[in-house]
Amino acid sequence: MKNLNFKSYLLAIATILLAFSCSDPLGDDIDKINEDLSISKEIVYTLTDDDYDTADDVCSCSGFGNFSSDDGVRQGVPAVLAAVFPALGDGSSALVTYDFFNGSSPDIRGDQQVFTVTAEEYTELGFGFGNFSDLAEDVPVYADFKVGEGSDGDYLDVTHEFFNNGTTTTVTTRVVWVVSNNAWVWAEPLPDASYADFFNESPPDFSFEDEGEDNIPFWLKATKIFAVAGDQALIQWNWDNGPGTSQSVALYIFDGTNWNEYGNVAQITQQSLNFGHDGTTWVPDNTIKYTMGPDDWTAIAAASLNSNPGGSASVTQFGNFDLTLWTSEQIFEQITNRLATIFPNPEAGQKYLITYAVWRPGSGSDQLNIIWDGTSYSEITE
């Protein structure tokens, strides 16, 4: 009797296992649970060291603990967001901050090219007097024309006519390809007299390369007294290498108080980019979400005082757009004027989602989806 019961028990277990092998209701239930857990939420997140490893598995672009290209950011960050926030789904957005490598320090260890500007080239470039008069502006224009994009360490020595203080002379000017600027930049030579007069060095060179690199910021501060924060200077100096004299360059950036060598500052900076979840994956979304506040209403009231006196008075009193006093065109104009002030110098393609208070009659709020195309703002209607 016991044997029979045990056999019946084994038969029941086998039947249950067979039923589960034919279908997977549990798997279906898990999928449904995952769907239910896919929530919509706005988050702000800064990448960690481990996150860069996660991204590098996908894009091979963040192995040094930072990104060095926009494509790398757009490929790697979605993998990070999927790993860190698996429950977030369609409609979610994330403002992600990450370290970005802006390019190596400039040098002159790449390819050198030598050119002499011809009369025909002056004419073709629009220099009607057959000379250059602004070394920092004109010679990089010629380099773009003659060579186009360079590579790290590339430099050009350009012989040309130079008009200065009423006199035209033939000079040779050096421009260097600066990766962080993605441009040719004039290499300003340290004046020969400065080696003795300012640095107490003779002959006109430094004893070591690092000596010039470290001391030039003091010369810049003493000579470029009208510099403003953000100004840059690519300085070339001479140094004694033993058998002869070598030349080096370094890029310096003014922070409002001191000149700092690029590489010590600005080489790696923090940047942010918006991502949105489309229901399947995270995609780059550069939309800036902004809600208009008291400062905006004060500025709009002042800006519209003459063009819409009634609307201006209403904005001053209530801090909203009374839709009986404001047309959609007027609202768009005032909001985009504010955007130009709040977010100056946007890149082409930058999007904004603006929320603002209205009176219909009845209080409420409206939103404008706006994009900057590099020249003007327009409303996104889709």
- Cβ atoms of residues 216 and 248 within 8 Å: no
- Cα–Cα distance, 81 to 128 (Å, whole number): 56
* 3-state class (DSSP) for residue 27: helix
Please give the structure tokens belonging to residue 218. 């003091």
- pTM for this entry: 0.63
**What string of DSSP letters covers 57-98?**
HHHS--TTSSB-SHHHHHHHHHHHHHHH-TTB-TT-EEEEEE
**Residue 203, preceding peptide bond in cis (omega within 30° of 0):** yes
- Cβ atoms of residues 319 and 294 within 8 Å: yes
- Cβ atoms of residues 213 and 250 within 8 Å: yes
pLDDT tens for the chain, residues 1 to 382: 444 454 554 455 555 444 544 445 545 544 544 455 568 888 999 999 999 999 999 999 999 999 999 899 999 999 999 999 999 988 898 999 999 998 999 999 999 999 999 999 999 999 999 999 999 999 999 999 999 989 999 999 999 999 999 999 999 999 999 998 889 999 999 999 999 999 999 889 999 999 999 999 999 999 999 998 888 999 999 999 888 899 999 999 998 899 999 988 889 988 888 898 988 999 987 788 788 888 899 999 999 999 999 999 999 999 899 999 999 999 999 999 999 999 988 888 898 989 999 998 888 889 999 999 999 999 988 6
Strands 232-240 and 245-254: antiparallel
C-beta contacts of 216-219 below 8 A and 24+ residues apart: 216/190, 216/250, 216/252, 216/259, 217/252, 217/258, 217/259, 217/260, 217/261, 219/190, 219/194
- Cα–Cα distance, 24 to 167 (Å, whole number): 89
